[in-house]
């Protein structure tokens, strides 16, 4: 009997112990993988289901070419100011502060509902010779807009500084679609990009109607925004796509 135990009783011989360790390691790996998958799904869904700052519907007006840039800016500034007051009344102080700042800027579009949509112009769009449009990637909304805007501001400053004499520049920060979360199932698919592509095409068309006739328009796409630009590229009226 002792000889039998030495040869093969599971868990008592060196070989049996090694098998048990491998099995435990495999179960641990599978458990960790399951936890990561669950977190990737549950965390963004939990965030999406959480309370969001209330806001009025966006201003309704004709395209900028018809309404005029000044009227368009004024309407969306007023809407951003109203959204800021609404957010403050409901205790969303950070959102209210961001929207209050937006209410003083050149807005081609503003929608404070949900994660929020913003299209802001830096510079004189109507007379610019070169226009750069920035398309952001994941996790960009009103609550994180300052981070996106900082890139647009830096680009505008550099273009202005390095442009040849007499060449005027403008930069447009286009947060015109609902971006996916960095840790979410939607960031691994093209669904959001396919929904955003027609909006981007329509925006570029509107932009052409209010920009200078010979303005050079460049589309600069970052991260998931590259997928949006790729989906919109066919028939997109731009001079450069990066």
128-180 tens-digit pLDDT: 999 999 999 999 999 999 999 999 999 999 999 999 999 999 999 999 999 98
Vertex 86 angle, CA 82 and 91, to 5°: 145
Give mean pLDDT, residues 81-96. Answer: 97
| Residue the block writes with tokens 């209010």 | 210
Q: Which DSSP letter does residue 143 get?
A: G
The Cα 164–Cα 103 span in angstroms is 32
Calculate the average pLDDT of the chain: 84
Query: Could you count the other beta carbons within 10 Å of the beta carbon of residue 56?
Result: 15
Phi, psi of 134 (to 5 degrees): -100, 130
Q: What local confidence, expressed as pLDDT, does residue 51 receive?
A: 60
pLDDT band for position 32 (50/70/90)?
Answer: very low
**Alpha-carbon distance 242 to 229, whole Å?**
9
* Fold entry, domain 64-241: Rossmann fold (3.40.50)
Query: Which tokens is 1 given?
Result: 């009997």
Q: What is the pLDDT of residue 35?
A: 43
Exposure string (b/e) for 65-102, b if CB count within 10 Å is 16 or more?
A: eebebeebbbbbbebbbbbbebbbeeebeebbebbbeb
Averaged over 55-84, what is the pLDDT?
95
pLDDT in tens, 176-191: 999 987 666 766 676 7
Provide the token pair at 189.
């698919």
pLDDT top residue among 2 and 239? 239
């Amino acid at each position: 009997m002792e000889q039998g135990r030495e040869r093969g009783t599971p868990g008592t011989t060196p070989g049996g112990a090694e098998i048990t360790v491998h099995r435990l390691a495999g179960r641990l790996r599978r458990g960790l993988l399951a936890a990561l998958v669950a977190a990737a799904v549950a965390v963004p869904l939990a965030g999406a289901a959480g309370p969001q700052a209330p806001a009025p519907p966006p201003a309704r007006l004709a395209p900028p070419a018809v309404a005029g840039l000044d009227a368009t800016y004024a309407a969306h500034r007023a809407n951003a100011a109203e959204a800021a007051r609404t957010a403050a009344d409901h205790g969303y102080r950070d959102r209210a502060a961001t929207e209050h700042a937006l209410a003083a800027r050149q807005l081609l579009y503003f929608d404070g509902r949900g994660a929020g949509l913003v299209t802001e112009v830096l510079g004189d769009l109507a007379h610019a010779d070169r226009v750069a449009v920035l398309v952001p990637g994941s996790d960009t909304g009103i609550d994180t807009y300052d981070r996106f805007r900082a890139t647009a501001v830096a680009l505008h400053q550099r273009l202005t500084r390095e442009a040849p004499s007499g060449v005027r520049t403008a930069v447009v920060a286009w947060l015109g679609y609902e971006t996916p979360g960095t840790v979410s199932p939607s960031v691994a698919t093209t669904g959001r990009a396919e929904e955003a592509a027609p909006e981007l095409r329509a925006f570029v068309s509107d932009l052409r109607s209010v920009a200078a006739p010979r303005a050079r328009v460049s589309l600069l796409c970052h991260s998931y925004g590259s997928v949006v630009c790729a989906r919109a590229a066919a028939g997109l009226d731009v001079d450069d796509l990066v």
